[in-house]
Chains A and B, each alone.
Chain A
Amino acid sequence: MTTVHGVALAALLDHPDWAEVAVLAPLPEPSPVVRAVSVVADLRSRPEQLPGHLLAVVVSGDRSDWRLDALLHRAAAAGARAVLLPTTEPLLRGSAALAARVRMPVLGSDAPLDAALAARALVAEGERYTAELVLRTTEACVRARAGVDGVLSAAGAVLGRPVALLDGSGSAVVGADLLDAPERAAVREAVGASAASARAAFRLELTGGAELLAHPVPTEQSDTRIWLAVRLPHRLPVESAAVAAALSVAAAVTGQQLSVRRLAVERDARSRASLLGELLHTPGEISTSTRRRALDAGWRLDGWHIGVQLDAGPDVDAVALRPDLVAALAEQGLDPVVVEQGDGWSVWTTVLREPEAAEIEAHAAAVRRAQRRLAPAVPTSVGVGRAHAGPLGLARTLGEAGEAARLAASRVPSGRFLHVDRLGLGQMLLAWTRTDTFQPAARSLLAPLQGQPGDLLQILTTYLDAESSVTETAAVLGIHRNTVATRVRRIQELLDIDLADPDERLALHLACRTTWTPQPAEEW
């Protein structure tokens, strides 16, 4: 038996099992606390000791019967907290006046025995209530239709409370929004405070005596933190405990449903990526079986392709976010092939005849709008390739797009968007230097300049850009030319390099271009 602390009558009235119970004589403030439930047959009953009880009359209860008044009197004298009648008709004025006089709340239900038993379960039989609720939740979740929505609505029906999936910010991912803005802030705080155990269940007191119960949903992605949450309008200890237990069951089922969906999605993603890999990396003629697989996937290898590469960074789950990207593109009227590739997506559009310049422009503009649309959820660097024909053309345009996307990552002013058609030859050349093999070499070449006073890297870059003119460099940087001359000498000493040697000079110029970038205008 659970320790009985009592349940506020107002909390009982907000419980789904008491949805049919009407208030016939109003509750005093603060709400009376019920500690036990007594059931009597009819108005003639003469209960003796009812301290803290809810007295339920289950059979007869003619509202005009004088014995109703007598019962109210006896219930008050016996210490009862409330009387439940088997009718929902309003009390006679006289009886209502008496109820107010003896401060006895009167409730009514057409199913008084059910209401009384529900109240007893909630007040005094916590363990039984919990067991029953967990059992019913399990059954409902097992029978729920497939998908997370099915599990959520099944659990919600059993618990009689709104159920939702919340992310770390307290916003609903699936289901109704349970929280308002200040409450979401409280959830963020609660999640932040328990950062070490960010995947533990938590309970949060909300304003007005409400309560949020949240149980983490087990997922395979350690970075995905979602909770299955229920909002209870009143703190009702027995219900809280029971719902928390039921949530753990529902959360496990939800997690399983998520995994199932994830598996299917990942399988598709892997097959797309491998098919694209074959197309891009097979030299010469493409095999019949690969063509067949491309056909099955709905890819047209003939015709003209315009490739787009979207890089989202290593922390982004490209598989999970694919639907967001597809939706953003569809909003702009684009229906391209989207393949998850490493840190982002390879995307291309195929047309039958060679696209005109204006069409390519329009396509790039649409991609750019999609990129902006997606930015709040997933910031990306986007590169767009030129139009190329045939299977080999697909590899070329995606290659160009990839290079452009890498270059775009450093181009904040252009919105991290680059279209190869607009790139100068020099920039393309530069882009090729920004490869994973060249960059470490460039950094080590310039390493001696790091940490030296006078921002030597900037002076060197500007000096080389200015055709080794000290005067021009001084003008660009706004410093005295003697300073420039001194610094350039010091740079040559530190790097042990002769700037008169064309090879060394070229290598150094490329290294400067690769490593030194202007300070970004804004952080994203």
Chain B
Amino acid sequence: MTTVRARDIDALVVGVSLLGSGGGGDASSFTHVLRQRLGDGEIVLHPPAALGDARTVPVGMVGATSVFAEKLPSGGELRSAVMAVARWTGEAPEAVMAVEAAGLNGVTALVAALDLGLPYLDADLTGRALPRLDQSTWAALGRPVAPAALCEPAGQTVVVADTDATGLERTLRAVLGEVGGWAGLALSAAPAHAAATDACTGTLGRALELGRAHGALRMMAESAEVAEAFGGRALADGRIYDITRHGTAAGYAGASVTVLDRCGAVVRLEAENEFLLALVDGEPVASCPDLLCVLDRRTARPLAVDAVRRGDEVLVVVLPAPPWWAEHGHLDLVGPSAFGLDCPPLLLGATS
């Protein structure tokens, strides 16, 4: 049984950041909360079968998580949201899972489970960082996400019922714009065993493995070593030559990052919240939902889209996508076209 102790937190942060693919929010900003809640104890990452029919509530932070630095969490937002859903349905929650076990939310769900005293189901609705609620396994399957509750740091709570993922996403954005940028979210509960097919399983377990593989790397490891350790492929080893930030059709802030490989190749990454598409010498070679990661050349720690700077020495690697999306035929929801990039998904291991 995989468990998380205080000593695993550093590895976990690297792992969930890799799953963030440049986005997902900065997990390190919440680690002190997790460290304090864990104390000397541990939390078990349960597989779906181990929790049987337990009513499991997906939780996570939504909104502009970068506002954390200015608007501090009270620590009780997720707990309040879960309780709000419980009051609405009249059913007490029996377990907690993550909406998105990547980036910041890789850590928040663990904190919520500890706060609520409930077991943690190692499953989530995305398997990696994705920007919108309608890009979730439940939305793909048409499973209901409502009633859902939103609780912002000042204590205000909003319950949204009788809507689908797209409607919930729209309501969330409207509320978040008014209440100050971010809030804790809890969705309606589902039996734990259903997560075996309805969700991406073992995501935090994978994050821990990735983090531990990173911990085993030497300083200034070669790009091939790093890629092998992460089970992916190296795309570039060089210096960031240019960054252009611009608006996108969807209204998000987009960015184009160009890395000059030391062998001369020109590697371009297209990004919104996450890195979405990689071109080597103008030829598209990799895309979401595979995890495109820009790593610090020296430490091999992942860098966020808004943290890379011109002149940074970096590695660019691509790691395999969570398998759920391809297995269930929903690549269109998370591939480049979902972000307005007219390019088919280019995945590791694909025959083309």
Contact = CB atoms under 8 A, between A and B. Distances in A.
A92 B244 contact: yes
Interface stretch (B69-77, B87-95, B257-265): B257-265
B282 A76 contact: yes
Pick the most buried of B242, B257, B277, B282: most chain A CB atoms within 10 A of its CB.
B282
A413 interface: no
A73 B241 contact: no
Nearest to A75: B282
Nearest to B258: A94
A69 interface: yes
Contacts of A72: 282
A78 to B, nearest CB: 12
Contacts of A101: 264-266, 281
A76 B283 CA distance: 11
A44 interface: yes
Given A73-B282, A101-B281, A102-B282, A64 B244 contact: yes
Given A64-B244, A97-B242, A97-B266, A92 B282 contact: no
A39 to B, nearest CB: 20
Pick the most buried of A67, A71, A76, A94: most chain B CB atoms within 10 A of its CB.
A94
Contacts of A66: 256, 268, 270, 277, 279, 341
A428 interface: no
B258 A97 contact: yes
Interface string B152-182: 0000000000000000000000000000000
Given A94-B244, A94-B266, A73 B258 contact: no
Interface string A69-86: 111111010000000000
A94 B283 contact: no
Nearest to B260: A97
B256 A64 contact: yes
B242 A73 contact: no
A273 interface: no
A70 B283 contact: yes
Contact of A69 (B257, B279, B341): B279
Contacts of A94: 241-242, 244, 256-258, 266, 268
Contacts of B342: 44, 67
A462 B244 CA distance: 102
A73 B283 contact: yes
Interface string B277-301: 1010111100000000000000000
Nearest to B310: A93
Nearest to A67: B342
Contact of B284 (A44, A64, A70, A97): A70
Given A44-B342, A64-B246, A101-B266, A93 B279 contact: no
A73 B281 contact: yes
Contacts of A64: 244, 246, 256
B241 to A, nearest CB: 6
Nearest to B246: A64
Contacts of B279: 66, 69-70, 73
Nearest to A71: B282
Nearest to A72: B282
A98 interface: yes
Contacts of A102: 281-282
A44 B284 CA distance: 13
B264 A69 contact: no
Contacts of B244: 64, 92, 94
A97 to B, nearest CB: 5
A98 B268 contact: yes
A67 B284 CA distance: 9
Interface of A: 44, 64, 66-67, 69-74, 76, 92-94, 97-98, 101-102
Given A94-B242, A97-B241, 8 more contacts: A66-B268, A69-B266, A72-B282, A73-B281, A94-B257, A97-B242, A98-B266, A98-B281
Q: Which 8 A-B pairs have the closest CB atoms?
A: A73-B282, A94-B258, A93-B242, A98-B266, A94-B242, A69-B282, A73-B283, A66-B270
